[in-house]
Each structure stands twice: as C-alpha cells, then as structure tokens.
Amino acid sequence: MATIDQSKIRNFCIIAHIDHGKSTLADRIIEKTGLLTSREMQEQILDNMDLERERGITIKSQAVRTVYKAKDGEEYIFNLIDTPGHVDFNYEVSRSLAACDGAILVVDASQGIEAQTLANVYLALDHDLDVFPVINKIDLPSADPDHVEAEIEDVIGLEAHDAPRISAKTGLNIEDVLEAIVHKIPAPKGDPDAPLQALIFDSVYDSYKGVIIFCRVMEGTVKRGTRVRMMATGAEEEVVEVGYFGAGQFITCDELSAGMVGYITASIKNVRDTRVGDTVTDASRPCESPLPGYKKVTPMVYCGLYPADGAKYNDLRDALEKLQLNDASLFYEPETSVALGFGFRCGFLGLLHLEIIQERLEREYNLDLVTTAPGVVYRVHKTNKEMIELTNPSNLPDPSEIEYMEEPIVSAEIMVTTEYVGSIMTLCQERRGVYLGMEYIETTRALLKYELPLNEIIYDFFDALKSRSRGYASFDYELKGYERSELVKLDILVNREEVDALSFIVHAASAYEKGRRMCEKLKEEIPRHLFEVPIQAAVGGKIIARETVKAVRKDVLAKCYGGDISRKRKLLEKQKEGKKRMRQIGSVEIPQKAFMSVLKLDDE
Ligand SMILES: Nc1nc2c(ncn2[C@@H]2O[C@H](COP(=O)(O)OP(=O)(O)OP(=O)(O)O)[C@@H](O)[C@H]2O)c(=O)[nH]1
C-alpha cells in the first residue's frame, strides 16, 4: 500500500472558551468529511477494517481521522485531536497540543473573547501552533461578528479579516473552515526513514486489545511487528496493530509514518507503561533522545475513600484496580480509619479528577462511598532528621517529634477583566497568596501572577474565582516547590470522640476560623439525636470551637396520620435507605455528606 503523502496531512485541534461551540464544530467537520481516501477505498480490503461490530463498543477517541476533498481537487487527511479543558489535566492538554501542527480558535459571535479563549490561545502559541480564528454562532440575533473580528485582531493579534463566519449549529459556511484547515494549518514535517520517534498523547485500556496508545509520529515509521520501547518507562513490546480512529471505529492500516496520527497496540497490560508525553521508539534502532516535555505526573491531592457498607471493601478494591488500568495518574493504597473502617487512601491530579473517579465508582461500579477531606502532600521534617511525606493527616507524628513542616506552593496566573482585579486580589490575599506582579493585556484585561499554597486552592478556589469575576477569570497553575509553613492538625470531636476521618491540616493562622466554620457546617449536617451532640474543633488537644446539635426525638411516622400502611412502609424504607448513608461514630450517626463539609467551608 502506498504511503500517505505528508503534504496532504493536517493535524489540528479546536480551542475555545466553554460553550463557544467546540464540540458542535468538531461534529460538523466529521460529518462533512469522509472516512477513506478514494485510493484507500480501492485498496482497502474489508478484513482490514476492524469494525468492532461484534463487541458493539464505542471508545471515545482522543483523535479522529477524516478525509476531505478540497476545492483544489486533492484529498487531505484531517487528524482532529481532542484536548481536555480543565486545569487538573493541563499536562495532558499540553501533550495533545504538542501532537498538533495548528489549531482552530472558535469564538462565539455573541460573546466575543473570554478568559479561557486567551488562555487557550497562549497555550497553543507556546507550542508553536499556527492558530486561525473562526467566528461561530452567527445565526444568533445577538451575534456581532464585526465587533468580534476586531476584538480578535486587537486583543489576540491574530489576523481575522478572513476568519470564517459560521454557524456550527446550522452548518452554515463550514466549507470555509475545511478550506482554511487545508490552507492555514501547515503540513507536518519529519523523515519516515529516520529512527522512530512518536509522542504518546493518550492511552486507554481495552480488555480486548490491551493498552491502545494514541500517538503522533514525529520521525520514522512504525508498523506491525516493530519492537517498540517507551523511552521513559522502559517498557518494550512488539506492535500487534497500527491504525487510526475514524467514524466511530478503529481502522487498521499498514504503518504510521512521520507526520501521521494514530494508534498502536502491543499487548501492554497497563497504562502506567505508556505514560502520556513519553516517546515511543524502535527498540532495535532507537532515536537519540526522547521528545521534550515529558513529565511524570504525580498526584497532588489525596483523600480517603471508604465503602459506605463495609462489606463492599473488596468491590471497591476491584473497582479501583480496574479504573487504574485506564488512568495512570490515579493512586491508591489500603488504609484504615477508626471512624470509617477499611478503605483506601487515593491520590488524584486535582479535585475534578477526584470527583470524576468518585462519580465513576458510584455510577459504573454501583458503590456508595464516604470520602474524607481531600488534602495535599505535606513534608514533615522530624527532630530525628527524618522527612516524611504526609498524605493522611491521621499519620501526623506527635508535635514533639516535629521540627518543622513544609507545604506545596504553586505559581499561578490568573487572567481577569480589569473591573474584577480588586476582588480577585482580595481573594488571593485571603488564600495566603504572594503577589508577584500584574500585566495588562490591552486595556480591559489583566494577568495577575501569584504564588499560592496548593492547599488553599484545591478545594474551591476555582469556583470562588469564577463567582467573584462573574465567570470572567481563568486560572492556570504549576507546582513550584515546597516552603516552610506554620501548619497544624485540626481535629474534630463529635460527642467528645475524635473522628479521625474529619481531621485536616490547616495553616495555624486560619485554624480558629476553619474550626468554627467546620463546627457550624457539621451542625447543619448531623441530624438531631435523642441526646445533645456537642461538636468541637481542637488543635493539639485544645478546644477552639464548639457547636451543639440539640436533642430531639426523631419519629418519621409522626407525619403519618391515619392508617395508611403503605405510606408508613415507604417512609420506613426511606429511613432505612438514609441509614445506609450514615456512619455510626460512637453513639452518633454522621451522614456521609458531612465528611465533605470541609470542602464547603468558604460558602457564604
Ligand atoms: N445558535 C447557535 N448555537 C450553537 C452554535 N454552535 C454551538 N451552539 C450551541 O452552543 C452550545 C455549546 O456548544 P458546544 O459545542 O457544546 O460547546 P463547547 O465549546 O464544546 O463546550 P464545552 O464542551 O462545554 O467546552 C450548545 O448548546 C450548542 O448547540 C451555533 O453556531 N449557533
């Protein structure tokens, strides 16, 4: 089979602010293009198409290949690479961008440029991508494409006079976008005969094929039978299949050569061997050096996950094991808690990652979970010169053994419209931020630079930022290192018993405030019992705050007058259901939700 002409390949992604129409445009592009080139159609033998029919699965692919017959009569191969859109996954985004040669910037004609538009454009430009703008949603009555065109030129400095004006929704002028992809995004470069050098930008586990590695070949060629080596992890395996993803299915092909995007499988059992950002090379003829930018991502946020029903411990372990097959950045190890029994300490990239995993465990694996307060990794320097990395507050050594502690610090960049600069600066100050500087991006926007402790931003910083800027702020951060800090463990006592799963580490200066809020929150969450329940916050054995849940007799049947037995039964059932979601701590029942209270300490 003839190799594909590099000059006919376009590797690109779509970047946009949330809701400006990225997914809709992607759907239109796929819809208006074909699956195979006419040459491939003649050559393609049916067996060659791995239709996945028998399994009926749909794997969401990070990269879709389509074929476009352009106005110049030539056929072009489009590889549309998806980029995740959250700060937790910034590293993955950067690797996806590194796999592209250009990007389409979608701007909503009724909204204009927004915070994330800029952040995404800068990220794309950082990766040397050629970016061209598209003005979307011109069908809307409020659309003002002329204004948006001027804004794109003034604010971003991208030429926009010939930006396609489209409606991704109705399909209006989509052809213009397809032509612009051909003419404005450069063809890839690279030598198909050089030693193999391919960038992994995603990998997924499939029970049938093993790990599927999505990669962009920079140099060289990979085919079935090539013995490949992952340069960072050292894993080596023979390639079983190469191909690409198009029209919802995996299609095998003979080879992937320089400039192409596709997948390879090689009976690898674990995604941890195929890390995003790693370089795939030929084991028998390796390239000199790996591609730049590889980073081993490490969990930044830890929390305990416990089955609500202790008997489901093994189910939880199996589920975590399965999820980890597909998620190299998920960490877990067994732990026990006095309050919650047997469970796992899990590590995540950030809170969104935590929420995604939690949701998947609950939905896909039908598990009821109790989650303990998430925290970052602290460094505890002991008087005996030993240093421990603390992921669970319960393991904090006795204060007499601690010489000092350090916490992780991030460098953050916040982009915001000038009218909200004041409120965002206040927010950063409240979060112990150190102001580094501010730049104006034309007159209406500012880029604030801060150093912030990670533990001040993991919970709700992003939400606070959005609400204090009416959605106009965007935010990006990067771990800078560790700094010495005055930290204490805040303990919570319910009915005078310490609940280990509610302990968390805070900065000494905010211990009192956080303790008070935590008690208030818990008071709302913990139902009344037949006796009074004191809720106390303590630091080093000293009580610093207290609330009391008053006694009451809870009688669910009281509401039922008359003798409607089925209604009574329903209520009792409901109460029983509710019980499962409670944890018994001593003689007090604490609802699962309470364990997440610490996350909501800043709610007004
Ligand atoms: N009127 C109109 N609506 C559009 C157009 N393009 C997209 N939309 C709508 O805008 C909303 C957001 O579109 P998406 O494609 O989901 O936007 P997105 O940028 O992918 O959003 P996220 O996935 O949340 O980042 C949807 O309700 C679309 O139907 C358009 O050209 N005209």
Most confidently predicted of 87-96, 357-366, 555-564: 357-366
Amino acid 508: pLDDT: 93
What are 219-229's pLDDT values in tens digits? Answer: 999 999 999 99
> Residue 317, class by beta-carbon neighbours within 10 Å (0-12 exposed, 13-18 middle, 19+ buried)?
middle
DSSP string, 319-361: HHHHHHHT-TT-EEEEEEETTTEEEEEEEESSHHHHHHHHHHH
Q: How confident is the model at residue 565 (pLDDT cuts 50, 70, 90)?
A: low
Distance of alpha carbon 506 from alpha carbon 490, whole angstroms: 7
Q: Is the pLDDT of residue 48 over 60?
A: no
Contact yes or no for 583/592 (Cβ under 8 A): yes
Q: Which ligand 1 atom is at minimum distance from the Cα of 16?
A: 19
Q: How confident is the model at residue 570 (pLDDT cuts 50, 70, 90)?
A: low
Distance of alpha carbon 190 from alpha carbon 222, whole angstroms: 13
Ligand 1 atom 30 nearest Cα: 137
Cα torsion angle, 558, 559, 562, 563, sign: negative
DSSP string, 182-244: HHHSPPP---TTSPPEEEEEEEEEETTTEEEEEEEEEESEEETT-EEEETTT--EEE--EEEE
- For tokens 């985004």, the residue is 93
| 68 residue type, one letter | Y
| Most distant CA pair in the chain, distance | 86
What are 111-149's pLDDT values in tens digits? Answer: 888 767 777 888 898 889 999 999 999 999 999 999 999
- β-pairing, 249-252 with 445-453? unpaired
- β-pairing, 487-494 with 375-376? unpaired
Residues with CB under 6 A from ligand 1: 16, 18-24, 85, 136-137, 139-140, 167-169
Q: Which residues are annotated as a binding site for GTP?
A: 19-24, 136-139
Contact yes or no for 377/408 (Cβ under 8 A): yes
Nearest residue to 210 via CA among 157, 265, 252: 265
The pTM for the full model equals 0.76
Q: Give residue 249 CA to ligand 1 midpoint distance, Å.
A: 25
